[in-house]
Amino acid sequence: MAKPAITDEAAAKAGQEALILHLRPIVELDEDRFFELAGLNRDLRMELTTEGDLIVMPPAGGESSQRNAEITIQLGSWAKHDGTGATFDSSGGFRLPNGAVRSPDASWVERTRLAALTDEQRRKFLPLCPEFVVELRLPSGSLNVLQGKMQEYLENGAKLGWLIDPENKRVYVYRPGEPVRELKNPESVSGDPVLPGFVLDLREIW
């Protein structure tokens, strides 16, 4: 008999939330060691904060995974047609200028910046902050934590960020030097001028 699928709601009730491990000053996890650790635990998403804390996130539930895939598909389709940059999914890690290693749910980087990296740099966490980042809130996720991550992206060079909250049908738009813009139940959101011509159809996300 097949086991019932684990929904996001069930995962939240089971307490499958992000686990934060404070390592310093007992353990100093440098980038190479963290890269090896992440490789040994591919079923988990891991991030490293600028304070040296290890954040371990369980796999997303089916509904959130489907939403995340839809965002990546739409962004990737636009990027392929546009040709000026590359799309990354939630498994991609970026070492930000502040030393943190983050994995946005979706992101985009200009090809000129990628071309400037060495082969060794491209094989590991990319040493840059994407121009565009997306974070998708899970039912059990903290909005405050995600808002903090969005601000961190901006402080490290992101030009545009979207925090998408499907449960409440909200999109928070982040741009450098501007107040956060909250969109209530929008059908779409535009990436202009950072991503010229890209429009995310949110009807596929809600």
Residue 40 is predicted with a pLDDT of 87
Question: What are residue 33's phi and psi, to 5 degrees?
Answer: -65, -40
Say which residue, 51 or 106, is predicted with more confidence: 106
Q: What are the residue boundaries of the structural domains of the chain, listed by start?
A: 60-204
Q: Which helix (H) or strand (E) holds 197?
A: none
Residue 1 is predicted with a pLDDT of 34
Is 17 a residue whose pLDDT tops 70? no
Nearest alpha carbon to residue 141 among 68, 51, 92: 68
Average pLDDT of the segment spanning 75-87: 98
Where does 60-204 sit in CATH, by number? 3.90.1570.10
Q: Mind listing the pLDDT tens digit for each residue in 139-183?
A: 877 899 999 999 999 999 999 999 999 999 999 999 999 999 999
Torsion of CA 188, 147, 153, 42, to 10 degrees: -90
What's CA 89's distance to the chain center, in Å? 8
Question: Torsion-angle region of residue 197: left (phi > 0), alpha (psi -120 to 50) or beta?
Answer: left
Tell me the pTM: 0.86
The Cα–Cα gap between 172 and 193 comes to 17
Residue 2 is predicted with a pLDDT of 38
The strand pairing partners of 126, in sequence order, are 94
Q: Mind listing the pLDDT tens digit for each residue in 94-145?
A: 999 999 999 999 999 999 999 999 999 999 999 999 999 999 998 877 899 9
